[in-house]
Amino acid sequence: MRNIRILLCDDHTLVRSGFASLLKNEEGMYVISEAENGMEMIQKYYATHPDLIIADIAMPELTGIEAFNKIKETNPDVKILFLSVYYSEQYIYLTLKAGAMGLLNKSITKGELFFAINEVIEGRKYFGPEYNQQKISRLIEKYEHKKKTFLSNEISEFDDKLLYFISEGFTSDQIAKKLFVSKHTIDAHRIKIMGILNLKTEHDLKKYAILYTEGTKI
**DSSP sequence for 168-187:** TT--HHHHHHHHTS-HHHHH
Is the CB of residue 132 less than 8 Å from the CB of residue 174? Answer: no
Helices 202-215 and 157-167, interaxial angle, to 10°? 110
Mean pLDDT across the stretch 23-31? Answer: 88
Reported as a pLDDT band with limits 50, 70 and 90, residue 149 is low
| Mean pLDDT taken over the chain | 86
Reported as a pLDDT band with limits 50, 70 and 90, residue 218 is very low
Strands (E), the chain: 4-9, 29-35, 52-56, 80-84, 102-105
Above 50 in pLDDT, residue 125? yes
Above 60 in pLDDT, residue 199? yes
CA proximity to 67, closest of 6, 9, 4: 9
Mean pLDDT across the stretch 21-39? Answer: 90
Q: Is the model more confident about 194 or about 124?
A: 124
How far from the centroid of its chain's Cα atoms is residue 34's Cα? 19
Task: Report if pTM > 0.75.
Answer: no
What is the predicted pLDDT for the residue at 47?
96
Above 80 in pLDDT, residue 119? yes
What is the predicted pLDDT for the residue at 217?
46
151-191 residue pLDDT tens: 555 567 888 899 999 988 899 999 999 999 998 899 888 87
Between the ranges 45-49, 107-111, 171-175, where is the mean pLDDT highest?
A: 45-49
What is the predicted pLDDT for the residue at 141?
84
Measured CA to CA, the distance from residue 178 to residue 36 in angstroms comes to 30
Is the CB of residue 208 less than 8 Å from the CB of residue 94? Answer: no
Reported as a pLDDT band with limits 50, 70 and 90, residue 150 is low
